[in-house]
């Protein structure tokens, strides 16, 4: 039941829906509420994909592998890639909000923290395991930025990151905070 | 005093009048879709071209609105839409390493302020011949340093390398790195110059047309061999009838009327036409015509202009090349539609650059001759089309099959795009990288061995060794 207002709200924020009911809905939700709602969907979808598709088919049933080079290897898309492709599609559709998966130990160095809020946020969620919220100005525009801890929820996360050629850290364990989801909402 | 004022007034009036007339003529010139609009609009349109247009767009330079739109001339979003109209699909297919979303993300705002790569024209400005270099790039060649100036920290092997060599060394491309990423390089390391099996994929269109529900009109042309032409009396010579009868169309149930009976205008009943154009071919050959229109041969037609002629090319063409507009029948020849002829003779009827002229004496041509003579298995020969119009996997919702890519530019630039679909059918990745990086070898149509060596595979192997040593050390630490 909770999913419906959350989805309606997400759409209202993302695409500036102009109906009166949608406006009413946004008026009663804070930036933090909206960010939490969007993140809840992202986190749940990725967990479903990681557990029910990747972990089941790759690790338990061993019928297909997941690979960074999924197209060449005719394999499943990695959970982190599934998340990133979704984020790129959201950006291509011209949504106002953006999100990305960053880490203090990124395999792709372009996914290291860049802004001050990203740096402080990743350090904080690593320590507390709880979300971090802050306003920041980028390119002359003001954003509400939320950083959510990204934990190792499946063996595949840990083994892939510990073994990857370009990883800067090889001692991740299940349940560790491996990075963070950074979500930005433009502020009025 | 009064007389001076009057004369000035007349001069002002004349100036305004002439300005208004020029503006109107220019505006009219921009509005017209035809490539050769009548004077004065046509003259003014040519006169107002700000500079020579690049290889990529010169054929459509007189159709200003194709890129500039018809209202807000040169508005960033209008031009961006025009770029993506033609190029978005190929960038997507190439797993673009620098998609637009990287630069619209606020976390990259500071970078985007230095390099607004969310807009194609930031790096590819048209009509600027003095600053245009490979790939139509108009930024200084060391542009990678704008975002990757600290690359040596991540890749110590890159310390001291000039940023103008990133894309010119055969190691990286800005958009398409499908054959250049490290794991691909290491996966294909250590293979012999000539692979054990050396054939290109077979076309399989014939076998899948019944499954192509949406793109092939199987109801209109049920698969059955025809023996009786249905052309009106007096149409077509005996040779034309024989060519049709002995080849694919008669065997696939496509009679004369299938191509020659065409509605002259939308909504009108079909009437006989002697020379059906590419739109008729696309009734069944959708993918082939679509890609033809995306390439240099068909892009004028795609822009609503008259067809490209060899005389309009910027690269050397034979002086006796036909000067009619290029359509499907130019290379394929009507009625016989001989793919073997189209694959080499079709190209060499016009193209006269060094690479084309050297083809006949090349090792690739020798293979094509041996295949034609039945000395080698099907797919062993190498024609112009093998490399420039390769057989690629084409996926639809219905079926997956091999079809000929008719956009000759798809594998041409940057040349590393040719590695996977073409070169690596027969050669190792190392040999192919070296050969494509050797301009003299390209001129001789690959007669001989590469004199250039691209080091990227060795570097990738070295990096893989470093990573393996790190893995082992981490495991030891974990055990302790």
Q: How far is A7 from chain B (nearest CA, A)?
A: 22
* Sign of torsion over alpha carbons B45, B50, B52, B56: negative
Q: Considering only alpha carbons, which residue of chain B is nearest residue A161?
A: B471
Region B451-474 average pLDDT = 95
Residue in B95, B108, B474 nearest the CB of A162: B474
Judge: B106–A141 Cβ closer than 8 Å, yes or no: yes
Q: Check if B478 contacts A (Cβ < 8 Å).
A: yes
Residue-averaged pLDDT of chain B: 91
Q: Is residue B279 part of a domain?
A: yes
Residue-averaged pLDDT of chain A: 88
Please, are residues A97 and A186 in contact by the beta-carbon 8 Å criterion? yes
Of the ranges A26-40, B198-212, B369-383, which one carries the lowest mean pLDDT score? B198-212
Domain membership of residue B402 as a residue range: 205-412
pLDDT over threshold 70, residue B45: no
pLDDT value, residue A6: 43
Judge: B107–A184 Cβ closer than 8 Å, yes or no: yes
Q: Check if B479 contacts A (Cβ < 8 Å).
A: no
pLDDT over threshold 60, residue A52: yes
| Total number of domains in chain B | 1
pLDDT value, residue B398: 77
* Number of helices (H), then strands (E), in chain A: 7, 4
pLDDT value, residue A22: 54
Q: How many CB pairs under 8 A join A and B?
A: 56
- What one-character-per-residue DSSP string does B74-93 give? T-HHHHHHHHHHHHHHHHHH
Q: Is residue B212 part of a domain?
A: yes
pLDDT value, residue B310: 94
Region A155-172 average pLDDT = 92
Q: How far is B86 from chain A (nearest CA, A)?
A: 17
pLDDT value, residue A36: 98
A101 burial type by CB count under 10 A (0-12 exposed, 13-18 middle, 19+ buried): buried
Of the ranges A14-28, A81-95, B36-50, which one carries the lowest mean pLDDT score? A14-28
Region B84-100 average pLDDT = 94
Region B439-444 average pLDDT = 97
Order the strands of the A98-102 sheet from edge to edge.
A98-102, A177-186, A141-151, A132-138
Q: ipTM for the complex?
A: 0.84
Please, are residues B362 and B445 in contact by the beta-carbon 8 Å criterion? yes
The confidence band for B209, taking pLDDT boundaries of 50, 70 and 90, is confident
Q: How far is A73 from chain B (nearest CA, A)?
A: 11
pLDDT over threshold 90, residue A125: yes
- CB hemisphere CA count around A144 (13 angstroms): 15
Please, are residues B398 and B286 in contact by the beta-carbon 8 Å criterion? no
> B260: how many CB neighbours lie within 10 A of its CB?
20
Please, are residues B445 and B355 in contact by the beta-carbon 8 Å criterion? yes
- Chain B residues close to A163, C-beta within 8 Å: 471
Q: Is residue B17 part of a domain?
A: no
- Chain A residues close to B84, C-beta within 8 Å: none
Higher per-residue pLDDT: A182 or A19 = A182
- Chain B residues close to A171, C-beta within 8 Å: 474, 477-478
pLDDT over threshold 60, residue B258: yes
**Tokens of residue A150, six digits:** 């990204």
> B45: how many CB neighbours lie within 10 A of its CB?
23
The confidence band for A77, taking pLDDT boundaries of 50, 70 and 90, is very high
Residue in A72, A98, A163 nearest the CB of B105: A98
Domain membership of residue A161 as a residue range: 3-186
- Chain A residues close to B477, C-beta within 8 Å: 171
- Chain B residues close to A170, C-beta within 8 Å: 470-471, 474
A132 - beta bridge partners?
Answer: A147
Region B122-141 average pLDDT = 95
pLDDT over threshold 50, residue B121: yes
pLDDT value, residue B249: 95
For residue B263, the Cα-to-chain-centroid distance in whole angstroms is: 31
pLDDT value, residue B39: 60
Q: How many residues does chain B have?
A: 480
Instruction: Report the distance separating Cα B359 and Cα B446, nearest Å.
Output: 9
Q: Is residue B3 part of a domain?
A: no
By DSSP bridging, strand A177-186 and strand A141-151 are antiparallel
Q: Who's near B129: CB < 8 A, 6+ residues apart? A: B51, B52, B54
The phi, psi pair for B363, rounded to 5°, reads -60, -30
pLDDT over threshold 70, residue A13: no
Residue in A88, A115, A171 nearest the CB of B478: A171
Please, are residues A171 and B474 in contact by the beta-carbon 8 Å criterion? yes
Of the ranges A157-166, B77-86, B208-217, which one carries the lowest mean pLDDT score? B208-217
pLDDT value, residue A61: 96
pLDDT tens readout for residues B307-320: 999 999 999 999 98
Region B8-24 average pLDDT = 88
**Tokens of residue A91, six digits:** 């950006």
Judge: A138–B107 Cβ closer than 8 Å, yes or no: yes
Q: Considering only alpha carbons, which residue of chain A is nearest residue B466?
A: A165
pLDDT value, residue B208: 84
- From chain B residues 174-233, the ones with a CB under 8 A of any chain A CB are 181-184
Q: How far is A103 from chain B (nearest CA, A)?
A: 14
Judge: A91–B104 Cβ closer than 8 Å, yes or no: yes
Q: Check if B463 contacts A (Cβ < 8 Å).
A: yes
pLDDT value, residue B29: 62
| Total number of domains in chain A | 1
Higher per-residue pLDDT: A162 or B211 = A162
When scoring B89, B91, B101 by the number of chain A Cβ atoms within 10 A, the one with the most, hence best to mutate, is B101
Q: Considering only alpha carbons, which residue of chain B is nearest residue A116?
A: B107
Residue B356 gets which letter from DSSP?
Answer: H
pLDDT over threshold 60, residue A166: yes
Region B359-373 average pLDDT = 97
The phi, psi pair for B213, rounded to 5°, reads -55, -45
Judge: A170–B154 Cβ closer than 8 Å, yes or no: no
**Tokens of residue B424, six digits:** 């690596």
Residue in A92, A170, A184 nearest the CB of B471: A170
Please, are residues B412 and B372 in contact by the beta-carbon 8 Å criterion? no
pLDDT over threshold 60, residue B212: yes
pLDDT over threshold 80, residue B145: yes
Judge: A139–B106 Cβ closer than 8 Å, yes or no: yes
pLDDT tens readout for residues B382-439: 999 999 999 999 888 778 889 999 999 999 989 999 999 999 999 999 999 999 999 9
Q: Which residues of A sit within 8 Å Cβ distance of B?
A: 68-69, 71-72, 87-88, 91-92, 98, 100, 109, 114-115, 118, 138-141, 143, 162-163, 165-166, 170-171, 182, 184
Higher per-residue pLDDT: A91 or B25 = A91
pLDDT value, residue A7: 43
Q: Is residue B313 part of a domain?
A: yes
Region B212-238 average pLDDT = 90
Judge: B471–A163 Cβ closer than 8 Å, yes or no: yes
Instruction: Report the distance separating Cα B401 and Cα B288, nearest Å.
Output: 13
Judge: A69–B183 Cβ closer than 8 Å, yes or no: yes
Residue A78 gets which letter from DSSP?
Answer: P
Q: Considering only alpha carbons, which residue of chain B is nearest residue A164?
A: B467
């Amino acid at each position: 039941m909770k999913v419906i207002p959350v989805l309606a709200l997400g759409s209202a924020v993302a695409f500036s829906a102009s109906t009166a009911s949608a406006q009413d809905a946004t008026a009663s939700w804070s930036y933090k509420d909206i960010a939490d709602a969007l993140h809840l969907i992202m986190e749940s979808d990725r967990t479903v994909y990681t557990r029910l598709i990747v972990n089941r088919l790759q690790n338990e049933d061993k019928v297909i592998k997941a690979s960074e080079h999924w197209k060449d290897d005719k394999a499943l898309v990695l959970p982190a890639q599934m998340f990133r492709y979704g984020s790129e599609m959201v950006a291509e559709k011209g949504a106002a909000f953006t999100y990305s998966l960053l880490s203090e130990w990124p395999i792709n160095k372009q996914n290291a923290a860049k802004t001050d809020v990203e740096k402080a946020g990743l350090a904080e969620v690593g320590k507390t395991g709880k979300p971090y919220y802050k306003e920041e100005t980028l390119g002359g525009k003001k954003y509400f930025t939320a950083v959510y801890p990204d934990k190792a929820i499946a063996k595949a996360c840990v083994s892939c990151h510990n073994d990857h050629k370009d990883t800067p850290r090889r001692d991740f364990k299940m349940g560790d905070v491996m990075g963070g989801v950074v979500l930005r909402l433009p502020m009025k | 005093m009064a007389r001076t004022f009057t004369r000035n007034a007349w001069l002002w009036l004349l100036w305004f009048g002439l300005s208004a007339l020029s503006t109107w003529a220019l505006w009219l010139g921009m509005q017209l879709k035809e490539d050769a609009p009548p004077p004065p609009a046509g003259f003014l349109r040519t006169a107002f071209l700000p500079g020579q247009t690049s290889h990529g767009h010169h054929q459509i330079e007189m159709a200003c609105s194709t890129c500039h739109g018809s209202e807000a001339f040169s508005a960033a979003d209008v031009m961006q839409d025009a770029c993506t109209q033609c190029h978005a699909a190929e960038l997507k297919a190439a797993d673009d390493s620098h998609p637009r979303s990287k630069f619209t993300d606020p976390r990259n705002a500071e970078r985007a302020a230095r390099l607004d790569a969310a807009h194609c024209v930031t790096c590819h400005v048209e009509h600027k011949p003095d600053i245009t270099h490979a790939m139509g790039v108009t930024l200084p060649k060391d542009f990678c340093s704008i975002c990757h100036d600290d690359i040596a920290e991540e890749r110590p092997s890159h310390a001291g390398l000039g940023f103008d060599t990133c894309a010119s060394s055969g190691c990286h491309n800005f958009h398409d790195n499908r054959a250049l990423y490290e794991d691909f390089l290491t996966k294909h390391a250590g293979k012999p110059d000539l692979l054990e099996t050396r054939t290109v994929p077979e076309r399989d269109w014939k076998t899948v047309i019944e499954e192509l529900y949406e793109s092939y009109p199987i109801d209109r042309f049920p698969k059955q061999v025809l023996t009786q032409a249905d052309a009106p009396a007096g149409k077509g010579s005996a040779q034309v009838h024989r060519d049709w009868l002995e080849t694919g169309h008669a065997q696939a149930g496509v009679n004369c009327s299938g191509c020659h009976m065409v509605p002259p205008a939308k909504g009108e009943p079909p009437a006989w036409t002697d020379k059906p154009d590419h739109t008729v071919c696309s009734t069944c050959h959708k993918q082939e015509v679509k890609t033809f229109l995306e390439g240099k041969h068909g892009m004028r037609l795609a822009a609503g202009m008259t067809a490209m002629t060899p005389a309009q090319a910027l690269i050397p063409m034979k002086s006796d090349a036909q000067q009619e507009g290029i359509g499907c029948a130019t290379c394929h020849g009507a009625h016989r539609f001989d793919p073997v002829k189209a694959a080499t003779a079709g190209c060499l009827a016009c193209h006269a650059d060094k690479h084309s002229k050297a083809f006949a004496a090349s090792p690739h041509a020798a293979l094509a001759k041996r295949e034609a003579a039945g000395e080698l298995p099907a797919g062993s020969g190498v024609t112009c089309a093998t490399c420039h119009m390769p057989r690629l996997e084409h996926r639809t919702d219905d079926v997956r099959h091999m079809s000929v890519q008719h956009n000759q530019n798809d594998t041409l630039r940057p040349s590393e795009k040719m590695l996977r679909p073409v070169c690596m059918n027969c050669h190792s990745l190392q040999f192919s990288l070296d050969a494509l990086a050797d301009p003299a070898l390209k001129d001789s149509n690959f007669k001989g061995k590469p004199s250039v060596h691209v080091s990227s595979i060795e570097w990738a192997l070295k990096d893989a060794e470093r990573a393996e040593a790190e893995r082992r050390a981490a495991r030891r630490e974990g055990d302790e």
